[in-house]
Amino acid sequence: MSSRDDILSAVRSAKPGLDAPAPTVPNYDDNYPQERAGLVDLFAERLTTMGGTWHALGEGQSIEDAVEQALAEKLGKPFADAVIASNVPEIPGNRTLTDSDDPATVHDVDIAVLRARFGVAETGSVAFTEAELTVNSIAYLAQHLVVLLDPAEIVTNLHRAYQRDDFVSANYTVFHTGPSATADIEGVLVRGAQGVRSLTVIPVPP
């Protein structure tokens, strides 16, 4: 037995036999809007603060038209020439993703269209698991990320978010809060430096 084992054994044998259940942690969301409309408005506000775009559908506007409208000036190329990897039935993509794809092979994707598992009003974040991503790197290597979000799946804050079973039932869960951004010591903000250049959320029930 090593000295390490000796030490750990001594610690375990001297451990007091206390019955100390974990404390109840409050949700800290009493001051958040309780009505769904107010929660959606707060999410949109925080998303915008973090550099994202909230794009509610116009009267009679299709989701595909909304995506084109939101990204027309950001693409730098005609929308018809964009490489679109879509994991949602609402948008016909031209790049198919499979769970056997090498993560690096999605580097040429211009637009990734995904459905978020849920959103967090406190931070304007959207959450994905491997089920929504198919290839986890798509949410980082695509130039632009378009997210469909069910307004009914917006929770107040991160305390509520971590109570969901997504962190138990999934192998991989990630929050995205706005597009990638970095700033130097002089405060010059650059978006898209380490990930997606833009993040657009479209409120659409499944």
Sequential pLDDT tens for the chain (206 residues): 689 999 999 999 988 888 888 888 899 999 999 899 999 999 999 999 999 999 999 999 999 999 999 998 899 899 999 999 999 999 989 999 999 999 999 999 999 999 999 999 999 999 999 999 999 999 999 999 999 999 999 999 999 999 999 888 999 999 999 998 888 777 788 877 788 999 999 999 99
Is 132 contained in some domain? yes
Residue 105: what pLDDT?
A: 94
- E-assigned strand segments in the chain: 53-54, 84-86, 111-115, 118-120, 125-129, 144-149, 154-155, 173-176, 181-183, 189-191, 198-203
Asked if residue 2 is part of any domain, the answer here is no
12 assigned to some structural domain? no
Residue 128 and residue 116 in contact, taking contact as beta carbons nearer than 8 Å: yes
Q: Which domain holds residue 159?
A: 34-203
**Cβ-count burial of 19 within 10 angstroms (0-12 exposed, 13-18 middle, 19+ buried)?**
exposed
Q: What is the pTM of this model?
A: 0.86
For the residues of 109-144, what is the DSSP string, one character each?
-SEEEEE-SEEETTTTEEEEEHHHHSSTTHHHHSSE
Task: Please indicate, yes or no, if residue 181 is contained in any of the structural domains.
Answer: yes
User: What's the total number of domains in the chain?
Assistant: 1
Looking at residue 17, its pLDDT comes to: 80
Residue 87 lies in a domain: yes
- pLDDT given at position 160: 95
Greatest Cα pair distance, the chain, in angstroms, is 73
CATH number of the domain enclosing 157: 3.40.50.10420
Instruction: With respect to residue 60, please indicate whether it lies within any of the assigned structural domains.
Output: yes
